[in-house]
């Protein structure tokens, strides 16, 4: 019973740690999001539309001015795509008879440069070149696996959206897996090209409300960047009725996101409960074997009197405890595997696999070994420090 319970606790810790330290697929160091808004009709500074330029042309003037700002390495536009975004879009894609649901990431090619999204070989440029091709898309590695199976490449295949059209788009690149946050498992995605030429023609104010304008800054220029950018660019980014509302680091957006979701607080609460349970299990196991060893003081004295050495006797007691543990861990493993197979463990953040089960049960076994050795070793040492004659006299 204790082994099953400890395995359940260890499994949770493994899932939490594995999720948190697994690469997310993106890099937010030296990245910022610039929020561009439009003046309302009621604003005193609102400029009546004169049709000399489209809203899209005004917006791209802002983009170009940001690109030319000192220290800016790359600028991207996207929709519900940047890390820790509060929204997302999904659609079904099909290849032959295989249908998968993928998160739609409408991005300009520089999105890969801004967030350091790479292919499995660690290169960004092939993804950019692939996305720029006509009627092309880039998918993540896990999406490729769902569509093609293990060991097969999706490069060159055509994916269709059965609910929308049957023309299809060609897969020209595969990126590494992307995760929504450090607490979620891989999120199968498809990157669709957001053309700047299409933005130029836009004159619908609602279109620009969902655009995400993100930039990457060189490390040398990333010193007090926000205040410098505001000072230098607030006036420059006032084009037509567009103005800069705010600039935030992606790290700040990440912190805000986790405050809203409460993921870190939930994790801390769970870890506190787990720590409490581990301490109780630890004390229970040690106490049981401590009492058991101390109770057999007379038997140990007799063995010492008959010629056993203290080290041999200690080894015999520990071996006995480990044999009892091994006999107990076998049915515990069977029960634990069935609990996992029934998905009574955490499966939202990590699929239950035999490897996950094996890691958990081995870790449980090793922890129990440590507890048993502590529960036997110290009291046995105390008991065996007494002279055999004294022990036999007490008996």
What's the confidence (pLDDT) of residue 387? 62
Return the higher-pLDDT residue of 357 and 19.
357
Structure tokens at 374: 């502590």
Looking at every residue in the chain, the average pLDDT score rounds to 88
| pLDDT, tens digit (0-9, with 9 covering 90-100), for 218-240 | 999 999 999 999 999 999 999 99
- The whole-number pLDDT of residue 167 equals 74
pLDDT band at 338 (very low <50, low <70, confident <90, very high): very high
Query: Residue 292, Cβ neighbours under 10 Å: how many?
Result: 16
Distance (Å, whole) CA 366 – CA 373: 11
Residues 347, 284 contacting (CB under 8 angstroms): no
User: 207-216, 240-249, 366-375: lowest mean pLDDT where?
Assistant: 366-375
Q: Which helix (H) or strand (E) holds 266?
A: helix 263-295
Lowest mean pLDDT segment, chosen from 7-11, 67-71, 143-147, 330-334? 7-11
- Render 56-69 in DSSP notation, one character per residue: HHHHHHHHHHHHTS
Q: What's the rounded Cα separation, in Å, for the pair 176 and 203?
A: 35
pLDDT of residue 386: 62
Strand 136-140 with 165-175, pairing:
parallel
What is the pLDDT averaged over residues 1-16?
A: 88
pLDDT of 378 above 80: no
Task: State how far the Cα of 309 lies from the Cα of 359, in Å rounded to an integer.
Answer: 37
Q: What gap in Å lies between CA 214 and CA 108, rounded to an integer?
A: 11
**Statement: residue 166 has pLDDT above 70:** no
pTM, to two decimals:
0.83
pLDDT tens-digit readout, 204-215: 888 999 999 999
> What tens digit of pLDDT does each residue of 258-273 get?
999 888 888 888 888 8
- Return the pLDDT at 390: 61
pLDDT at 130 over 60: yes
Going by pLDDT thresholds of 50, 70 and 90, the confidence category of residue 330 is: very high
Do 210 and 4 touch, CB atoms closer than 8 A? no
CB 66 within 8 A of CB 229: no
Q: What pLDDT does residue 9 have?
A: 87
Candidate from 79-83, 92-96, 162-166, 184-188 with smallest mean pLDDT: 162-166
Between CA 359 and CA 302 the distance in angstroms is 42
């Amino acid at each position: 019973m204790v082994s099953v319970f400890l395995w359940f606790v260890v499994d949770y810790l493994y899932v939490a740690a594995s999720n948190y330290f697994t690469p997310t697929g993106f890099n937010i160091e030296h990245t910022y999001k610039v929020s561009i808004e439009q003046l309302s009709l009621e604003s005193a500074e609102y400029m009546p539309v004169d049709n000399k330029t489209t809203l899209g042309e005004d917006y791209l003037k802002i983009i170009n001015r940001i690109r030319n700002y000192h220290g800016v390495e790359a600028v991207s536009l996207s929709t519900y795509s940047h890390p820790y975004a509060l929204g997302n879009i999904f659609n079904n894609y099909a290849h032959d008879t295989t249908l998968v649901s993928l998160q739609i990431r409408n991005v300009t090619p520089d999105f890969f440069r801004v967030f350091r999204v790479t292919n499995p070989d660690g290169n960004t440029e092939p993804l950019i070149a692939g996305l720029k091709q006509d009627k092309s898309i880039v998918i993540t590695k896990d999406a490729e696996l769902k569509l093609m199976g293990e060991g097969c490449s999706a490069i060159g295949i055509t994916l269709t959206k059965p609910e929308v059209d049957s023309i299809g788009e060609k897969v020209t690149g595969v990126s590494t897996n992307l995760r929504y946050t450090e607490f979620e498992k891989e999120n199968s995605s498809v990157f669709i090209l957001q053309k700047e030429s299409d933005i130029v023609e836009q004159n619908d104010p609602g279109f620009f409300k969902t655009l995400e304008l993100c930039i990457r800054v060189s490390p040398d220029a990333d010193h007090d960047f926000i205040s410098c950018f505001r000072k230098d660019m607030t006036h420059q980014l006032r084009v037509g009725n567009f103005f800069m509302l705010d600039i935030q680091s992606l790290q700040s957006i990440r912190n805000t996101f986790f405050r809203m979701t409460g993921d870190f607080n939930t994790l801390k609460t769970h870890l506190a409960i787990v720590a409490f349970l581990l301490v109780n299990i630890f004390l229970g196991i040690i106490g049981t074997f401590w009492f058991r060893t101390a109770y057999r003081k007379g038997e140990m004295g007799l063995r010492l009197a008959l010629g056993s050495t203290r080290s041999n006797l200690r080894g015999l007691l520990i071996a006995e405890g480990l044999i009892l543990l091994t006999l107990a861990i076998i049915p515990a493993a069977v029960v634990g595997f069935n609990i996992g197979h029934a998905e009574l463990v955490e499966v939202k953040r990590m699929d239950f696999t035999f490897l996950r089960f094996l890691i958990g049960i081995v870790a449980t076994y090793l922890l129990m070994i440590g507890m048993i050795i502590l529960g036997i070793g110290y009291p046995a040492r105390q008991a065996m420090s007494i002279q055999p004659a004294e022990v036999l006299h007490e008996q």
